[in-house]
């Protein structure tokens, strides 16, 4: 059977992690986490991204192809991990990405998953394959030197939309209700609740999955869930089974993070 080819459109990040007295840097962004979801769902991930010269990390080995828009400095965040949660500060912003849509339109689907407004949704008119969207990178205010805050967002409508993902806080702050997302053209809406699980809304039914086992890896969990679920749906798995399979794998991701790719080899 032909493998599903899925693109991931979004920036790599350099994340400066501060946890008490510990400091370290690691790579982040949808090219890592959504691509892992695609790969573990049996798909072939292609990444369309933007990188700075200061990005010295290796790309994940499960990424099949990578198309890079190069800039001087990479998108960079400071992430403080505290008992009450995490705070996210933007240290370096980047421009909008240059994107070759002719390559994207030869794939089976595309995940539009920016980190901080590096993608212009007006370009959705150039896409002729099924689309999944993660809302987080569109509602962030993205002011250098400031903690990330949320703003309302508007999207163009499209018949190509299949899935959109937001966590409950992002969806609330976006100004877009579930009904409004349906009216824009989205057929399936994933709202996640962190360690508590997620719900998938369709016009006919709502599927809710609660987590009995709660892992400690929270960064990238929504990106992973979207990549895994979208790939299953593109592959013809029905909604109910896609929800169940995505839930099982997202629980594992919450425990192991990106190391899940090694454990499941």
Q: From the CB of residue 152, how many other CB atoms can be counted at a distance below 10 Å?
A: 10
Residue 1 has pLDDT above 70, yes or no: no
Report the pLDDT averaged over residues 221-226: 93
Among 93, 91, 54, smallest CA distance to 70 is for 54
Identify the three-state secondary structure at position 243.
Answer: helix
pLDDT computed for residue 210 by the predictor: 86
Q: What is the DSSP annotation of 119-146?
A: S-GGGGGG--S-EEEESHHHHB---TTS
Report the alpha-carbon distance of residue 184 to residue 175 in Å, rounded.
Answer: 13
Radius of gyration of the chain (CA): 17
Write out pLDDT tens, residues 38-65.
999 999 999 999 999 999 999 999 999 9
Instruction: Give the total number of structural domains in the chain.
Output: 1
- Using CA atoms, how far apart are residues 25 and 4, in angstroms rounded to an integer? 33
pLDDT of amino acid 12: 96
Mean pLDDT of 3-26: 94
Q: What is the structure's pLDDT at 4? A: 95
Cα gap 54→261, rounded to integer Å: 26
Range of the domain at 229: 5-263
Residue 92's contacts (CB-CB under 8 Å, 6 or more residues apart) are 52, 73, 74, 75, 76, 144
260 band by pLDDT with thresholds 50, 70 and 90 = low
pLDDT digits (tens, 9 = 90+) for 142-186: 999 999 999 999 999 999 999 999 999 999 999 999 999 999 999
CATH number at residue 44: 3.40.1190.20
Residues 6+ apart with CB under 8 A from 58: none
Dist CA 144 CA 83 (whole Å): 25
| Contact (Cβ atoms closer than 8 angstroms) between residue 97 and residue 56 | no
Mean pLDDT for the stretch of residues 69-95: 91
Is this prediction's pTM over 0.85? yes
Cβ proximity of 113 and 133 under 8 Å: yes
Query: Which of residues 219 and 9 earns the better pLDDT score?
Result: 9
**Long-range pairs for 55-62 at CB < 8 Å and ≥24 separation?**
55/12, 55/14, 55/27, 57/12, 57/14, 57/26, 57/27, 59/31, 60/31, 60/32, 60/35, 60/36, 60/258, 60/261, 61/261, 62/35, 62/36, 62/261
Residues 222 and 246 sit within 8 Å (Cβ to Cβ): no
| Closest C-alpha among 259, 250, 263 to residue 41 | 250
Q: Is residue 230 within 8 Å of 39, Cβ to Cβ?
A: no
What is residue 216's predicted lDDT score, i.e. its pLDDT? 58
Q: How confident is the model at residue 196 (pLDDT cuts 50, 70, 90)?
A: confident
């Amino acid at each position: 059977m032909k493998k599903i080819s899925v693109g991931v459109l979004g920036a790599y990040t350099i994340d400066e992690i501060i946890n008490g007295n510990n400091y370290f840097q690691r790579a982040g962004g949808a090219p890592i986490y959504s691509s892992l979801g695609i790969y573990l769902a049996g798909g072939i991930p292609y990444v369309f991204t933007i990188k700075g010269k200061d990005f010295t990390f290796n790309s994940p080995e499960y990424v099949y192809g990578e198309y890079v828009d190069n800039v001087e400095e990479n998108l960079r965040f400071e992430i403080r991990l505290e008992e009450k949660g995490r705070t996210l500060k933007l240290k370096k912003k980047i421009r909008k990405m240059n994107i070759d849509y002719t390559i994207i339109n030869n794939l089976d689907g595309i995940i539009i998953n920016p980190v901080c407004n590096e993608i212009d949704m007006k370009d959705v008119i150039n896409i002729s394959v099924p689309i999944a969207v993660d809302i987080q990178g569109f509602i962030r205010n993205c002011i250098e030197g400031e903690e990330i805050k949320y703003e309302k967002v508007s999207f163009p409508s499209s018949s190509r939309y299949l899935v959109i993902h937001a966590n409950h806080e992002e969806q609330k702050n976006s100004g877009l209700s579930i009904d409004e997302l349906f009216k824009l053209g989205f057929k399936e809406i994933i709202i996640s609740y962190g360690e508590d699980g997620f719900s998938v809304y369709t016009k006919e039914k709502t599927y809710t999955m609660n987590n009995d086992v709660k892992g400690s890896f929270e960064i990238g969990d929504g990106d992973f869930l979207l990549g895994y679920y979208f790939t299953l749906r593109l592959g013809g798995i029905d909604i109910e089974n896609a929800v169940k399979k995505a839930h099982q794998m997202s629980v594992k991701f919450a425990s192991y993070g990106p190391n899940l790719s090694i454990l499941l080899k």
